[in-house]
Amino acid sequence: DTGVSQDPRHKITKRGQNVTFRCDPISEHNRLYWYRQTLGQGPEFLTYFQNEAQLEKSRLLSDRFSAERPKGSFSTLEIQHTEQGDSAMYLCASSQPGLVPYEQYFGPGTRLTVT
């Protein structure tokens, strides 16, 4: 078990382009979370899946953002028509009920820069 992985680690895109990030959780974890972290701030919750069901979305997740977890394993986060304000670190985390309550294991993040 190598932990939560995210791809790509860095993405530079021009304003208006679409980008997609991938997260592979720890294999037995059925919960998957997306957070966004800007410089000097703590992570902010975006959305959460239990298996393939998207159970909660933050109001931070505008219509330009969409997340999927089609088979209950990996997840993708897509941002359409990127804006400079989307520049941030996008973190994925996973957890398994029954272990340390709500211990979420984080991946290394995808750093997005919108120019």
56 binds other proteins (CB under 8 A): yes
Shortest separation between residue 16's beta carbon and other proteins, angstroms: 27
Return the SS3 of 85: helix
Size of the site for other proteins (CB under 8 A): 27
| 91, 46 contact by CB (below 8 A) | no
Shortest CA distance to 86 belongs to which of 108, 104, 61, 106? Answer: 61
Cα dihedral angle (94, 100, 103, 108), rounded to 10 degrees?
A: -70
Q: Which residues, numbered 77-96, are part of the site for other proteins (CB under 8 A)? A: 91, 93
- Encoded one letter per residue, x for contact with other proteins by CB under 8 A and - for no contact, window 16-35 reads ---------------x-x-x
Chain residues that interact with other proteins, rule: CB under 8 A: 4, 31, 33, 35, 40-45, 48, 55-56, 58, 91, 93, 100-109, 111
